[in-house]
């Protein structure tokens, strides 16, 4: 089994200006602006890029639309050919779009990709806070809709009842996504289908981890998770999520079983999962994505808390940062 090879540089800002952003030739962003941070990041990044490309993955037809056009995978590759630096605006993009850009960047031999992510000040509290009967929880969030677990070509593996597997779930604020995952798998036998839950600790802000614990307690209990099946990983670190998956894969993965990953938690965890899946494709110990491609709800979050800039080096030796690139604080 191989070792993780990607290198990360990271920088974070409470506020950011145009001057602090390295320029890029291509910027990839989502089609929908659903909250304050999406609007803020889109406005800021637009002028830092030579070309802005809007991406949308349509789960119903399994198509990636690039600037509204089909045949997205091929278009992406054509676009990236010959380009030196690209930026992924991960706040407005979903798992499928992020992994497709990373895949194209990797296949076109780019040395590195830049990724931007913006944390919100708060998530919209959707629940019945004033519940008269007090029966509904006060940690009820409704951040996404339209969930349907659908394989993504290139990262999918067939499952049958007898399939031996290990499944890693990154948890967020919406426990029904995990429930739905198990439902669609018809509650597999934990003896041959082992599982790990990953919770974002420390959370974006102290206390938010309680939203994950409280809302998932019953699900974790009924699905047979034990204390040893729960791991923690900094909620805003793509690198930690990536390395944790490598650790788990080294421990649990083998040629006889499939290693499924469901990034249902924070976006940094999703980015870490995308990088891991990309790097481990085609190995003897199979890895696969198991994902529900949610639609992000309008006004799901409020304001902006923190900006993250990551540079992920896909090749060795690391490319020299472009002259306009910020000096990254952490170099791993």
Partner 1 sequence: MTEVQDLFRRNRAEEFSRDVFADFVVPPFFGRLPIRTQTKALVIEGGRGCGKTTLLNYFCHPTMFSPKQPEASIREVSYVGLYYRADTNFLAGLQGDEHPDKVYLNAFKHSLSYNIAMELAESLESINCTDERRDKFGRLESLDFSELEEMFGISFGRTLADFKKSLERLKTRLAMWLNNPKPGNTPDFLTPEIFLTQVIRLLQVQLPYLADVRFAVFIDEYENLLEYQQQYINGLLKHGRGALLFNIAMKHNGFLTRRTLTNESLQQIHDFILIDLEHEQEKGFELFAAEVMLFKLVEGIAALGAHVPIDPALLRRTDDESLRIRCEDAQYRKQVLNCAERLLPKMTEREVAVQVLANKKLRTRLAENIADGLKKFSTSLTVEDFIRDDMPEASVVSGCLLNRRRETPEAILEEMEKLKLGELTKFGRKSSDWTQNNLFGALLQIYAVARVPCPLYAGFDSFVLISKGNLRHFLELTRRAFETIDRKTIKDLPQVDVEAQAEVVRQAAYAFLNEVRGAGTAGNQLYGMVLTLGAIFRQKQRAVEQSEPEINHFSVSRGAEFSEALARFLAEAIKWSVLFDEPETKEKNPGVPTRDYILNPIFAGHFQISFRKRRAIPLTEQELMIMFAGKLEDKDRMVRTKVGALNANLSLELDLGP
Residues engaged in binding partner 1 (CB under 8 A) = 61-64, 70-74, 124, 126-128, 130-133, 135-136, 140, 142, 144-161, 174-177, 179-180, 183-184, 186-189, 191, 218, 281-282, 286, 290, 295, 297-298
Q: Are 147 and 233 in contact (CB under 8 A)?
A: no
* First-last CA distance in the chain: 21
Q: DSSP string covering 2-18, please?
A: -----EEEEEEESS--G
85 vs 219 by CB, closer to partner 1: 219
Place of tokens 């990724």: 115
297 — phi, psi (to 5°)?
A: -75, 150
Question: Residue 31 CB, nearest distance to partner 1 (Å)?
Answer: 16
Question: Residue 20 CB, nearest distance to partner 1 (Å)?
Answer: 34
Let me know the angle formed at the C-alpha of 261 by 210 and 251, rounded to the nearest 5 degrees. 95
7 vs 125 by CB, closer to partner 1: 125
User: Could you write out the three-class secondary structure of 196-247?
Assistant: EEEEECCCCCCCHHHHHHHHHHHHHHHCCCCHHHEEEECCCCHHHHHHHHHH
180 vs 305 by CB, closer to partner 1: 180
Question: Residue 241 CB, nearest distance to partner 1 (Å)?
Answer: 22
183 vs 247 by CB, closer to partner 1: 183
Question: Residue 25 CB, nearest distance to partner 1 (Å)?
Answer: 25
237 vs 270 by CB, closer to partner 1: 270
Question: Residue 159 CB, nearest distance to partner 1 (Å)?
Answer: 5
Peptide bond into 300 cis (omega under 30): no
Instruction: Please report which helix (H) or strand (E) contains residue 273, including its range.
Output: helix 267-279
Pairing of strands 63-66, 49-58: antiparallel
237 vs 286 by CB, closer to partner 1: 286
Question: Residue 64 CB, nearest distance to partner 1 (Å)?
Answer: 8
């Amino acid at each position: 089994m191989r070792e993780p090879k990607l290198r990360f540089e990271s920088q974070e800002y409470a506020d950011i200006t145009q001057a602090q952003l390295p320029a890029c030739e291509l910027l990839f962003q989502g089609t929908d602006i659903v909250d304050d941070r999406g609007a803020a990041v889109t406005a800021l990044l637009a002028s830092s890029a030579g070309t802005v490309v809007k991406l949308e993955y349509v789960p119903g037809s399994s198509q990636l639309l690039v600037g509204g056009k089909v045949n997205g995978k091929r278009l992406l590759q054509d676009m990236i050919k010959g380009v030196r630096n690209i930026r992924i605006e991960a706040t407005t993009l979903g798992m499928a779009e992020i992994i497709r850009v990373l895949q194209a960047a990797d296949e076109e031999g780019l040395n590195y990709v830049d990724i931007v992510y913006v944390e919100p000040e708060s998530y919209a509290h959707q629940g019945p806070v004033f519940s008269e009967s007090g029966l509904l929880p006060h940690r009820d969030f409704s951040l996404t809709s339209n969930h349907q677990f659908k394989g993504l070509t290139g990262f999918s593996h067939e499952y049958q009842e007898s399939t031996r597997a290990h499944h890693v779930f990154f948890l967020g604020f919406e426990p029904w996504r995990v429930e739905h995952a198990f439902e669609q798998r018809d509650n597999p036998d934990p003896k041959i289908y082992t599982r790990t839950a990953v919770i974002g600790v420390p959370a974006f802000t102290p206390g938010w981890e309680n939203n994950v614990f409280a809302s998932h307690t019953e699900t974790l209990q009924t699905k047979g998770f034990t204390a040893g099946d729960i791991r923690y990983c900094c909620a805003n670190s793509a690198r930690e999520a990536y390395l944790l998956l490598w650790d788990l894969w080294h421990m649990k993965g083998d040629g006889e079983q499939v290693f499924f990953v469901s990034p249902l938690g924070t976006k940094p965890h999703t980015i870490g999962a995308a990088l891991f899946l990309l790097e481990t494709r085609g190995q003897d110990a199979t890895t696969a994505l198991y994902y529900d491609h949610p639609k992000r709800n309008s006004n799901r979050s409020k304001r902006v808390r923190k900006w993250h800039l990551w540079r992920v080096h896909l090749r060795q030796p690391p490319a020299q940062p472009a002259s306009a690139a910020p000096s990254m604080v952490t170099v791993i």
